[in-house]
Amino acid sequence: MTRKSYFIYIPLFCIGVLFATCSRQDKADQSTTEPVLSAHGLPTMQPSKVDYTQPETGYLKEKKASVENYCNKYWSNPNNNFSFLVAKNGQIVYERYQGVANREQDIPLTSDTPLHIASVSKVLTATAILLLVNNNKIELDQKVNTIIENFPYPEITIRTLLNHRSGLRNYAYFTEDKGVWDRHQTLTNQDVANLLAEKNLKLDFPTDTRFAYCNTNYAILALIIEKIAGISYPQAMEEMIFKPLGMNHTYVFEYDRDLQSAIPSYKGSGMRLAYDYLDAVYGDKNIYSTPRDLLKFDMARVAPTFLNRKLCNQIYKGYSNEHKGQKNYGLGMRMIEWETGQKFYFHNGWWHGNTSSFISLIKDNVTIIALSNKFNKNVYSVRKLAPVFGDYPFEFGEED
């Protein structure tokens, strides 16, 4: 996750390709299926098959060799920390865990070590929101001020939070303004909402006129989940996603509870990074997970029973088309769209020394996940593995 806002644009693309993205929805429609509800009456994700055995023969063994060669070339430094997994059809093709979770205590990284996934948390927050929409608890184009009391921007909707077109200022920036916030005090999601209501903070631009990646959007979405669920965001995520999918090593970081026990993060030099006043805000960040748990999540997310087809297609639609370009943002998902019609769906993250990459090659049913708690830009280069499995115009093994 980064504190820098930037713009990405993409041309309009054909409706037929959008529907192909969620082709598995042709076989099932959630609108005609009774949802499974949690103890608090919240809709839940349903698990899909995941196979942890690695291939020993045939097509997947060849793919495993290609992935392993890539890792040996670019991640061979023994001082690197990373957790990494590639899977096809829910079967792990290759996984690797290297380095230390806690340098001071010499605790190694393993497949069960939960790392901070930074802005990849946005994909999970968006998923919880979409489950609520699918279950008619809220509407995509519902005004936020109908849910959060005193929210001062009448044109902002749930959709414009999800696709970063709200115009809200980033809380990491406006809390640095004189007189807005005492940075000796830990900031919470409710504090963010209160500041928006009380400090006369102007929008950066009129709502839904352009794109600007902004963490405030997802901090507010976490509050919406709390308002609708009637329980905390960490508990709602546990009931709706983590527990039903068996994501046993995944949790939302709670500042007062987890400050001493969470896996720390480090600079590239190895220096441990301290927490700061922004570390209690969740929704935009602060989920800890593992590649295996995120594979369970991705498999459930592309299953035909996840959402009704119409809603599913809206996730993978680019909303920012003011200027021609390949890059865009859907509902909690980044995308690259080429003129050939091929699409690449992903989300990266960066927070303190934590870097993360979540790639879902939906057409090829491939999941690629890389996490590190020691700053390493190579985490983002795993996109270059996409050509191993499909027609993606990245040069396999190219240097950044």
Instruction: Provide the domain count of the chain.
Output: 1
CB within 8 Å of 244: residues ≥ 6 apart: 36, 38, 44, 45, 46, 47
Pair of tokens at residue 11: 């041309």
With 0-12 CB in 10 A as exposed, 13-18 as middle and 19+ as buried, what is 268? middle
Instruction: Give φ, ψ of 200 to 5 degrees.
Output: 55, 50
> What domain range is 37 assigned to?
15-388
Q: Residue 366 is inside which H or E element, if any?
A: strand 366-372
What backbone phi and psi angles, to 5 degrees, belong to 242?
A: -65, -55
Q: Which of 7-11, 276-280, 320-324 has the lowest mean pLDDT?
A: 7-11
Rounded to a whole number of angstroms, the distance between the first and last alpha carbons of the chain is 19
Helix 215-229 and helix 189-198, axial crossing angle in degrees, nearest 10 = 110
Read off the tokens for 137. Answer: 């608890």
pLDDT-derived band at 323, boundaries 50, 70, 90 = confident
d(CA 330, CA 162): 8
Distance in angstroms (rounded) separating the CA atoms of residues 309 and 25: 5
- Identify whether the C-beta of residue 381 lies closer than 8 Å to the C-beta of residue 71: no
Residues 221 and 283: beta-carbon distance below 8 Å: yes
246-252 mean pLDDT: 98
Q: Which residues does 114 contact at the CB level (< 8 Å), separation at least 6?
A: 249, 250, 251, 263, 288, 289, 290, 293
Residues 368 and 359 sit within 8 Å (Cβ to Cβ):
yes
Task: Output the CA–CA distances (angstroms, integers) from residue 103 to 82, 175, 267, in the order listed.
Answer: 13, 32, 12
Q: Is the pLDDT of residue 73 over 70?
A: yes
Domain-located, residue 177? yes
Assigned domain for 7 exists? no
DSSP class of residue 157 equals B
Beta-bridge partners for 372: 355
CA–CA gap between residue 92 and residue 61 (Å, rounded):
11
Position 300 in a domain: yes
Q: pLDDT for 367-395, tens place per residue?
A: 999 999 999 998 999 999 999 999 999 87
Could you read off the pLDDT of 20-70 as tens digits, one per residue?
A: 445 444 444 444 456 788 889 999 999 999 999 999 999 999 999 999 998
- Average pLDDT along the chain: 90
How many percent of the chain have pLDDT more than 90?
82
Q: Is-above-0.85 flag for pTM?
A: yes
Average pLDDT for residues 283-309, to the nearest whole number? 96
Residue found by looking up tokens 């949790």 in the block: 251
Asked if 242 and 249 touch (Cβ cutoff 8 Å), the reply is no
Is 5 inside any structural domain? no
Tell me, yes or no, whether 6 lies in a domain. Answer: no
* Residues 327, 318: Cα–Cα separation, whole Å: 8
CATH code, 141: 3.40.710.10
- Looking at residues 193-222, what average pLDDT do you find? 97
The residue type found at 46 is Q
Does position 117 have pLDDT exceeding 60, yes or no? yes
Residue 293 included in any domain? yes
Residue 2's pLDDT is: 42
How many Å separate Cα 129 from the centre of its chain? 13
Determine, yes or no, domain membership for 399. Answer: no
Q: How far apart are CA 165 and CA 317, in angstroms?
A: 14
